[in-house]
Structure 1
């Protein structure tokens, strides 16, 4: 017996040892097969670390479990910046028998924890989840060779995962956080049932710019029948719950082609009034479970039809609340007798024919009733019938709703009715009779000891005929008081065709005190505003320039104003500003401020402001402003980069308003812009029709003076352009190279030149999205005057000296010279000009491309005697030969780039052969023929280079245009990034970030 037990125990121990050893024996085989399958079928970067992978047969016996840490899938272009999935922990269960006895392991289960899924669809329909490699028919594998890797998943588990679904083809964004899901389904079949249950936090659901859901908790339990051949997804008794609001879905959704077919029925499930309350923002909080409620609720709806670019499915929804009541814990008064009957109906499939019918709405705040109704026939005729009536004592609201640290008083009254049709073209509006009022309002917070009190507001609107001409809006009084300062005013508008108005505002306000009572998040606000304004007139008088019929007077004064927030941390401080008002203009008589660290004084006026505010779209706001600053730092207001490795001062292309005609005269003792310091700057800025003109600008910088006129035109954001005329005198060449990108690109030799230059140069082209010139688009022309200069350590001069053996000096002095140049399609063409290279007459011509390539012909006339014995032997025996008067024209070509030039003799001969042949040609009278051939060869090379640069410029401009069209996409990317940042704060856990993800390489 003992022997039997011993043998049994030994056999059992051997089996355990074998099972424990299986993962180590087959680990490489499994992951070699996995890598092979991924490379065969996935067009993406899949990253994981084998050293962090664990294998076990005990964790999910009889399956073999593979676990790994950080795992992810990152897209290929155009999704190279997007990670489709990243998880902190993943476990895959594999059938152990398939590992032991089959060539292809069979996947049985997947467990994902802590990560993020980012699904992205571009406007053209490209999706980052479409990573399966296409298989061409002619290279389809045979049945014996094809992959039989099984994907029948018995169990799926997701824990603490985020999902961002960003579909830009539909303008749809859905963000879910902290998903916990369990599911199963045989994904190897074309038709299968997918069982799924779990929950998630709905962070945001936005469609076409409208936010439909935010900050809701979603629960689901569903069986979905998936038919991949028909792309049909059917649900029966699928249960979903938003917060506490539960409903079932029956029906299907199908996508056989591009259209979406749907037939879905919704019905409420296990709901009461408390369920619908959970959807109200602010109520579904930590105290929601302790909320006392009663009342019934019913919900039903359906969607049936086809969604496409030309059609919309019909739909209808109904929500009914009967005698609802809720009361917050520890508060004495309830909201009670809540009744609601809402129907939204569209049977036509035309969204504009949607009917909204809120036939009943009533509730009581304590014992204060509020009654309402709203009916809208459709979104075409806008025929409506609406009303709202109630009286609310604000003090009682604090006994109904939690308002810690807030004290309210006052009586709010509402009595509004509107019935009829709205048609702006026919000048028809609903008949209206409305009164809104607040008496003895009072607001006090724990943040500030004094209240805003004596808040009074009364407004009436009436129109009995439905004609715009008979509309009247009257606010006979509004006002409030904070400590000893009061603000009062009135507004009256009548006849919406002629637009008669009567407005007044009087009083003073301390903004710091106001911000203490009504705080603004992440904003600092200080200062005092005093206003005394009265205006009366009509738009008809404004339009016809009958200013004598207008009565406008008053002034506004601002003292010690300060504003700063997260977007403008530099802050804006206005020490004092004073303006007055007339019918024709608003006059700024004094403005003493500091914008960040820059002091600014200004004065000016705005005219035609009434026509601009109340007139047609064609009316422009006109104005002029004189601005002075002793020291203005532009860099402080440039866009900051979040990356420490990037330039922290960059600009972005912005569209300018086309309805503003504004002239600004600027004068500054010093302006700091990028790495430039501009002294004694002055000029005029003119904005009209969306184009910015710079006129007569002058400044001193870089040791000289700079004047320019130009335009900036960004009407087409994808093709912003500029046109500039420069008048430069005495600028340092070294300084210009360090400061101007165009000098670096087209005159790189400037980095080795010491001296000054002057120029009159005009050029134009495209601007990139960083507001810098697109070099490949430049066109221009001008004359460059160079004073006496010195060239030091230039690779060109060194290369010529090494080739010709004429002079090995590292420096060279040049006398003053004039250089004619033009830029065409991003290539600088230099007209032939003469100078002294060392002591030899020299002519230079050629071009520099925006891409840095150079092509120059340097012709140097060198006395034959400089070449010594080799020349003497050639002329030995030639009677009457005088070498003192004979010169040899050295023709040198310079190519490559300035930093790495290719320097050679134009004929590609050795120097000895070149000199010998040149001397023979000179002595025999064939000089002109040789020079013509050299010029022709150079011209051919130059034409070829220009063609290459032109083609490259076209590609570069196309690239810039594509970059510009990304503006909208980048805006959406920023919105997604903001969502990702929001996700990190939604739970207490640490979210994986792009920066933290391992390099797939």
Structure 2
């Protein structure tokens, strides 16, 4: 237990009538100060603890509580009401607490719990369930807060624990090269299927750091591993959690906007393959400076609404979907200036692109010799590692009108010949 402890205090019995529900605890008037060198409790090691508390009328006033819990230093102040009533006769525990510290590593607490569980008889994995019969308000701030691969600086905010729900308000921190703000609710009223409903606002976040730090982001945006740069995003997310506390992606709904401040896509195999076919070397590394893109996640699929980008005089439109941990289905539309394909800046290398387009023209019957631009649709399916890419020429309005005119002219000639054969009279033809 304790290898070093000292305390001083006084207790008096209050005069006057009181409820018999709590017996002596309803009559206690206690002031206590304590210093504890080291204390082992359940999965936690508590050291360097000093406290100054008052108890009266089943209220605990924590004037000061300093301690180190599993190497995490915390300071606590606040008040708890119905403390013994909650413990003994199922009264609701109410309270207001302020918690702060310099450095807090949640992994150390989790590691202790995991090691204890592994040593004990194996039990079925369950999600973290919040206690009921409480109404608690928390204010907290930490200079450094660590959980898994996520490092938060100047982490602060408030929360309310009520009816097995944790309401989070204005959680702020510096993280992943930028800043983040979180509001929302974690609900465990159905302990077998906890849910969340959250709103995120992230500013000046580095793609690479977010990809490394957050597993869900890796699954929702696998392309992020190929992006170097900084972005802002605001989105709302709701869904349920599995027993391992990972999101059940089949239940997730997300709506949001991602705005790139600067960025560049490099080494993304599907786009590199498209660039090789069309011989558009500028597309092997795509700039993402000042773009705004709406996205949605519904029923396990990520949808990217159409956005436009111009690179080296080539207009590009992109839209599509991908399944979480599954195949993608994206569409690219390129509007390429003819003069760009006619240039041969690298000793004839561009001929590769022209040759490919000529073969497409032969297959589809769509001429590429008309108009100032060549429009190409590219379907992108399969996986990032093994993409399935299909190219098609799009018919420009100018070409479409000419094809329609040719068809009408052909039909007109056939009709004229039929009339001549039927009537034996020559029909004057006109073409304009």
Is TM-score (shorter-chain normalized) higher than 0.5? yes
- Determine whether 1:620 maps to 2:92: yes
Say if 2:29 is the partner of 1:553: yes
The offset of 1:611, in angstroms, is 4.5
**Residue 554 of structure 1: CA displacement?**
2.2
1:534 aligns with 2:6: no
Give the SS at the match of 1:787: strand
Alpha-carbon distance between aligned partners in 2 of 1:641 and 1:801, rounded to the nearest angstrom: 51
Change (3 A) 1:708 1:637: same
1:662 aligns with 2:136: yes
Distance 1:815 1:841 in 2: 15
Mapped to 2, the partners of 1:643 and 1:573 lie a distance apart of 23
Computing the radius of gyration over CA atoms, which structure comes out larger, 1 or 2? 1
Would you say the 8 A contact 2:313–2:337 is kept in 1? Answer: no
Counterpart residue number, 2:55? 581
Once the two structures are superposed, residues 600-656 of structure 1 have per-residue CA deviations (whole angstroms, 9 ceiling, x without a partner) of: 1111011233543565x4x31101110111111111011436999xxxxxx952322
1:753 Cα offset (Å): 0.5
Q: Is the 8 A contact 2:193 2:241 kept in 1?
A: yes
2:6 is the counterpart of 1:567:
no
Change (3 A) 1:538 1:863: farther
Contact 2:370 2:399 in 1 (8 A): no
Number of equivalences: 374
Q: Is the 8 A contact 1:525 1:564 kept in 2?
A: no
**Residue correspondence of structure 1 range 840-855 to structure 2 within 5 A:** 840-855=314-329
The 5 Å alignment of 1:799-878 reads 799-807=273-281, 810-868=284-342
- Given the superposition, is the C-alpha separation of residues 867 and 841 from structure 1 closer, same or farther in structure 2, using an over 3 Å criterion? same
Within the candidate set 723, 728, 731, 2:202 is matched to 728
SS in 2 for 1:575: strand
Shift of 1:808: 6.6
Rounded Cα–Cα distance in structure 2 between residues aligned with 1:538 and 1:759: 60
Q: Deviations over 1:136-183 (max 9, x none)?
A: xxxxxxxxxxxxxxxxxxxxxxxxxxxxxxxxxxxxxxxxxxxxxxxx
Alignment of structure 1 residues 357-396 onto 2, 5 Å: none
Contact 2:2–2:36 at 8 Å: present in 1 too? Answer: no
Counterpart of 1:901 (choices 363, 387, 392) is: 387
User: Mapping of 1:282-297 within 5 angstroms?
Assistant: none
Q: What is the distance in 2 between the residues matched to 1:748 and 1:848?
A: 10
Match of 1:776 in 2: 250
Taking the TM superposition and a 5 Å limit, the aligned residue runs for 1:235-274 are none
Give the RMSD, CA atoms, in angstroms: 3.2
**2:237 is the alignment partner of 1:766:** no
Determine if the alignment matches structure 1 residue 718 to structure 2 residue 204: no
**CA contact 2:40–2:46 (8 Å) conserved in 1:** yes
Whether the 8 Å CA contact 2:283–2:311 is kept in 1: the answer is: no
Structure 2 distance, partners of 1:686, 1:873, is 66
Aligned CA distance change for structure 1 residues 555 and 846 (closer, same or farther; 3 Å): same
Q: Secondary structure at 2:326's aligned position in 1?
A: coil
The answer on whether the counterparts of 1:699 and 1:706 sit within 8 Å (CA) in structure 2 is yes
Take 2:19 and 2:36, find their aligned partners in 1: how far apart are those partners?
A: 39
Inter-CA distance 797–873: structure 2 relative to 1 (3 Å threshold)? closer
1:887 to 360, 373, 378: 373
Quick one: structure 1 residues 924 and 781, their matched pair in 2 at CA, closer, same or farther if it must change by over 3 Å? closer
Q: CA 1:642–1:626 in structure 2 vs 1: closer, same or farther (change >3 Å)?
A: closer
Q: Could you tell me how far apart the structure 1 residues matched to 2:396 and 2:232 are? A: 43
Relative to 1, partners in 2 of residues 1:704 and 1:920: Cα closer, same or farther, differing over 3 Å? closer
Distance in 1 separating the partners of 2:48 and 2:142 = 18
> Could you tell me which residue of structure 1 aligns to residue 422 of structure 2?
none
Structure 2 CA distance for aligned equivalents of residues 688 and 566 of structure 1: 25
> Take 2:52 and 2:70, find their aligned partners in 1: how far apart are those partners?
20
Tell me the TM-score normalized by structure 1: 0.35
Contact 1:766 1:774 in 2 (8 A): yes
Task: Tell me: CA distance 1:843–1:641, structure 2 relative to 1, closer, same or farther (3 Å).
Answer: farther
Structure 1 residue 706 and structure 2 residue 192: aligned? Answer: no
Distance 1:642 1:888, change over 3 A: farther
**2:2–2:37 CA contact under 8 A, matched in 1:** no
Whole-angstrom distance in 2 between the partners of 1:884 and 1:591: 81
Map 1:289-308 onto structure 2 (within 5 A): none
Q: How does 1:291-690 map to 2 (within 5 A)?
A: 526-536=4-14, 540=19, 552-564=28-40, 567-568=43-44, 571-583=45-57, 585-609=59-83, 611-612=85-86, 615=89, 617=90, 619-638=91-110, 639-640=113-114, 653-690=127-164
User: SS of the counterpart of 1:711?
Assistant: strand
Residue 787 (structure 1) shift = 1.3
Aligned to 2:167, the other structure's residue is in SS state strand
Contact 1:574 1:591 in 2 (8 A): no
Determine if contact 2:183/2:200 at 8 Å carries over to the other structure.
yes
In the alignment, the residues of structure 1 paired with residue 117 and residue 61 of structure 2 have an alpha-carbon distance, to the nearest angstrom, of 43
Deviations 1:491-541 (A, max 9, x none): xxxxxxxxxxxxxxxxxxxxxxxxxxxxxxxx6654233342234466649
The CA distance in 2 between the partners of 1:736 and 1:611, in whole Å, is 45
Superimposed CA distance per residue, residues 40-87 of structure 1 (whole angstroms, 9 cap, x where no aligned partner): xxxxxxxxxxxxxxxxxxxxxxxxxxxxxxxxxxxxxxxxxxxxxxxx
Shift of 1:796: 2.2
Residue segments in structure 2 that go unaligned for 5+ positions in a row = 119-124, 343-350, 362-367, 405-432
Equivalent residue of 2:192, what SS?
coil
| CA shift digits 1:630-684 (9 cap, x unpaired) | 111111011436999xxxxxx9523222111111111011101111110011011
Q: Are residues 642 and 530 of structure 1, via their aligned partners in 2, closer, same or farther at CA, if it must alter by over 3 Å? A: closer
DSSP-derived class of the 2:223 partner: helix
**For the structure 1 residues 557 and 765, does the alpha-carbon distance in structure 2 shift closer, same or farther, using more than 3 Å as the test?**
same
Q: Distance in 2 between matches of 1:825 and 1:809?
A: 32
- Residues 982-997 of structure 1: pairs in structure 2 closer than 5 A: none
